[in-house]
Copies of this chain bind each other. A is one copy, B any other.
Amino acid sequence: MTVIYNFSAGPAVLPKEVLQQAAAEMLDWHGSGMSVMEMSHRGAEFMSIMDAAQQDLRDLLAIPANYKILFLQGGGLGENAIVPMNLMGLRPDATIDFVHTGSWSGKSIKEAQKYAKVNVAASAAENGFTSVPARDSWKLTADAAYVHLCTNETIDGVEYHFVPDVAADTNGAPIVADMSSHILSREIDVSRYGVIFGGAQKNIGPAGLTIAIVRDDLLGQALPCCPSAFDWKIVAENGSMYNTPPTYAIYIAGLVFQWLKRQGGVAAMEQKNIAKATLLYDYLDSTDFYENRVEKAYRSRMNVPFYLKDETLNASFLAAAKERGLLQLKGHKSVGGMRASIYNAMPFEGVQALVHFMQEFAQASHK
């Protein structure tokens, strides 16, 4: 097997140690004679895996005791419906405030309109989603049900590097944050949020697992139409075992959490992510051959979209990259160009290899 670096936006690269352990344990987990895939979710073996995964995630993000960790299914798109279904039951006439920063918050806005009145408090559409609108431009709703943010836009490469204050303008509305593509990449103060959610398939583990971190007082507010299997209160009361959870995905996520702890936790990971992102953005800013269009203050450390100035070279760029083992660099079809997703599991060497290749490709094309 040649060394490859996988820049997929998700499902995405996982730590090699995690995959090695998963392969070694596939037929016999800890002498049980069973694969994790074959275990009853209610048996002692899987319960120990589940409990450890929850506790490790709680440790990694310093999640306060008054927040529940829920393991769900349906991904970020599923949660776009499940979030308003869970939060609009007590005040169905209230308004949800959104900040529109790119493709993912756009999808959330569209889906939420099925369940509630929606106000787009601010939008970066006019600049092509290359920034987070300044906080003082947000037109929030007094008495909003909640304020929905996508704190890292996977497709547009825009990230919040601040936590906005919204309580004063909304009469205390909680922030609901879609952190799918940067959760565990940086330290966060969970207490600033009411709900944090995300699909696992970027920085946590396999597709098919969704994680929600919900403040206790926000449980029990579901609309009558919310399916029981997605009702956070029911899921919380049953320890994420109301319906059969995606057991193998939880096991892999648990291995990733253990790996993160061995790396020094989220704080250490954040420093590595800053180093990786700096290397790539510094190169992009130093050349006329490529460009990243996001304002510097809002650039994502996880997803780096970039364009060749001469887009007729796109196909040959991708082919030459693949030849070097630099995989899945094609940008999302909605924005074109290239995208390097450099999640936690992407080693520094992978970004070095990418920059080195980009330099060579630029030089060869200039001849």
Contacts and interface: CB of A to CB of B under 8 A. Distances in A.
Interface string A320-361: 000001011000000000000000000000000000000000
A328 B40 contact: yes
A260 interface: no
Nearest to A223: B225
Residue from the set A201, A242, A245 with the largest chain B CB neighbour count within 10 Å: A201
A319 interface: no
**Contact residues of A: prevailing secondary structure:** loop
Interface string A1-37: 1111010111111101001101110111001011101
Given A1-B31, A11-B40, A75-B244, 18 more contacts: A4-B33, A9-B40, A10-B244, A11-B41, A23-B24, A23-B27, A73-B73, A77-B228, A77-B243, A80-B227, A81-B229, A81-B230, A85-B225, A114-B224, A114-B227, A207-B245, A208-B209, A208-B249
Q: How many copies does the complex hold?
A: 2
Contact of A207 (B19, B27, B248, B328): B248
Contacts of A38: 6, 8, 11-14
Contacts of A243: 74-78
Interface string A186-220: 00000000000001010001111100000000000
